[in-house]
């Protein structure tokens, strides 16, 4: 006969035990632990059963069994020394659809007591269908060694984390992955290792939620990395980095740190944004310090807003470490002033593409005549970019520069005008487009020699600079 394995809630249910000797005592004890309302019918009882009765943990009636004792009973255990009485109790219970267990007599049982490894709310039950209780006991002893008392504490922490995840706004599939990861053998080993390395031996202390740092890596030059970013990279447990973070910056990360490329370079998507969210939350819930390393500055077209929302919804602490954004790095390296009192009093930062599609992003309907425009991720559809600029009121004669791989040793700059932008070469990504009259104020002669600027830019820049000196 195949048994149906189940764990039953007995709290508050009326359970009857007939017999209170050495056979019945452990059965009574297990019912008390389960929170059942226990009645005992027996002429005699062990000292432990009598004490339970005195403390009102059970009700004991010192008399012989009567069939009316089954009234209102959910289940009954027959533990007398009379095989005939036990069999009669089983038959009577069966007629009333009451579950019955006759101790040590499998043919008169609706259910069996399994061998149990109790670890708090974790219970591992072993049944042999009544064929060999001795084998069940041996397996139980082996499992007690394999699953120590620490599993009970761990399960409690897992339960609290599960409640936290269900209480927050998190995608069901993401939540499922997290819960499975937290219950993995690897997660348990990490917690055990943490216990050995802390003065506080409680699992609650070692299972504390970690923290996520959204860190700006700058545009590429490792010397533009902030001191705080460098410190965090050297102390992080996990680094999740963009595809555009330079190898020189990644070289600062210790070899012992877990590093994963989660880049989504245009046209070569490796991983979805929701998966990045899951990785951050998952590692933080494992108690790890996570660095989400982004090229440039995380708050400028770095999708930090989405990641901050995901971390808040999961109840994860986070911190933002700003970096040198690409616009500032590119302009500084090419010696292009983004603002100037007589030329530009505003800087407009826009991106070339929407987050979810390849369509051109929305720009301001009107760009001020004295503004410098910086286009992040302009792509190679320069004709569409030029049309966007013209529609926003930027004159076709306005100079613009495409900066490729800014601040790196491979940096290239191509200078043209808005009206001629469509003829520009496809320089290696990542690229940045700077548009505005401030380009005429960059070191004209040096840029003409270094980057091949048209001679008219050099002359116009010198003339403009001279007129400003006279005005001052």
- Residue 178: enclosing H or E segment and its boundaries? helix 172-182
* 3-state secondary structure string across 240-274: EECCCCCHHHHCCCCCCCEEEECCCCCCCCCCCHH
Q: Which two tokens stand for residue 172?
A: 């069901």
Residue 181 · residue 281 · CB < 8 Å: no
DSSP 416-447: EETTTGGG---PPSSEEEEESGGGGGS-HHHH
- For residues 248 and 225, the answer to whether their CB atoms sit within 8 Å is no
Q: Which of 69, 221, 242, 297 is catalytic?
A: 242
Nearest residue to 253 (alpha-carbon basis) of 267, 242, 239: 239
What is the C-alpha to C-alpha distance for residues 347 and 240, in angstroms, rounded to an integer? Answer: 31
69, 78 contact by CB (below 8 A):
no
Does an H or E element contain 293, and which? strand 289-294
The sheet carrying 14-20 orders its strands as 59-61, 37-45, 14-20, 75-78, 99-102
Alpha carbons 356 and 273: distance in angstroms, whole number: 10
The alpha carbon torsion through 62, 65, 69, 74 (nearest 10 deg) reads: 100
C-alpha separations of 302 from 25, 36, 144, 214, 226 in Å: 66, 57, 50, 10, 17
Number of H helices, E strands in the chain: 16, 17
Q: Which of 264, 370, 381, 420 is catalytic?
A: 264
- Residue in the structure block whose two tokens are 């690409």: 326
Is residue 189 flagged as an active site residue?
A: no
Quote the Cα angle for 401-407-409, to 5°. Answer: 110
CA atoms within 13 A on the CB side of 263: 14
d(CA 174, CA 282): 9
Q: Is 264 a catalytic residue?
A: yes
Chain CA centroid to CA 400, Å: 42
Whether the Cβ atoms of residue 65 and residue 17 lie closer than 8 Å to each other: no
CA angle, residues 432, 436, 438, in degrees to nearest 5: 105
Indicate which residues carry an active-site annotation.
242, 264
């Amino acid at each position: 006969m195949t048994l149906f394995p189940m764990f039953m809630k007995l709290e508050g249910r009326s359970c009857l035990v007939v017999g209170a000797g050495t056979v019945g005592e452990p059965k009574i004890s297990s019912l008390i632990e389960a929170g059942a309302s226990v009645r005992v019918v027996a002429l005699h009882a062990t000292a432990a059963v009598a004490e339970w009765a005195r403390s009102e943990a059970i009700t004991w009636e010192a008399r012989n069994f009567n069939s009316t004792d089954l009234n209102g009973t959910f289940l009954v255990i027959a533990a007398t020394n009379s095989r005939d009485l036990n069999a009669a109790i089983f038959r009577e219970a069966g007629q009333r659809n009451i579950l019955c267990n006759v101790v040590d007599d499998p043919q008169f049982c609706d259910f069996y007591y399994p061998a149990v490894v109790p670890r708090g709310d974790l219970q591992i039950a072993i049944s042999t269908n009544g064929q060999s209780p001795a084998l069940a006991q041996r397996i139980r002893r082996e499992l007690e060694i394999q699953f120590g008392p620490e599993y009970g504490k761990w399960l409690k922490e897992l339960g609290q984390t599960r409640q936290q995840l269900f209480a927050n706004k998190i995608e069901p599939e993401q939540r499922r992955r997290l819960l499975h990861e937290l219950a993995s053998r690897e997660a348990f080993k990490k917690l055990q290792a943490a216990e050995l390395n802390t003065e506080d031996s409680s699992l609650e202390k070692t299972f504390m939620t970690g923290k996520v740092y959204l860190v700006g890596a700058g545009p590429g030059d490792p010397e533009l990395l902030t001191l705080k970013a460098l410190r965090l990279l050297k102390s992080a447990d996990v680094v999740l980095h963009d595809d555009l973070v330079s190898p020189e910056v990644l070289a600062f990360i210790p070899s012992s740190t877990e590093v994963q490329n989660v880049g989504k370079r245009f046209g070569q998507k490796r991983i979805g944004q929701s998966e990045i969210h899951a990785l951050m939350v998952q590692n933080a819930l494992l108690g790890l310090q996570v660095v989400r390393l982004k090229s440039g500055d995380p708050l400028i077209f770095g999708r930090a807003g989405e990641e901050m929302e995901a971390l808040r919804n999961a109840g994860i602490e986070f911190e933002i470490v700003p970096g040198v954004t690409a616009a500032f790095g590119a302009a500084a390296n090419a010696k292009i002033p983004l603002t100037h009192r007589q030329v530009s009093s505003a800087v407009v930062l826009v991106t070339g593409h929407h987050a979810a599609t390849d369509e051109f992003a929305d720009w301001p309907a009107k760009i001020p005549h004295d503004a410098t425009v910086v286009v992040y991720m302009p792509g190679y559809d320069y004709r569409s970019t030029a049309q966007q600029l013209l529609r926003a009121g930027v004159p076709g004669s306005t100079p613009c520069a495409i900066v490729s791989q800014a601040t790196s040793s491979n940096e290239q700059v191509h200078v043209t005008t808005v009206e001629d932008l469509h003829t520009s070469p496809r320089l290696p990504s990542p690229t940045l487009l700077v548009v505005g009259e401030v380009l005429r104020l960059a070191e004209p002669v040096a840029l003409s020699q270094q980057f091949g600027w048209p001679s008219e830019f050099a002359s116009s820049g010198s003339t403009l600079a001279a007129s400003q000196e006279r005005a001052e």
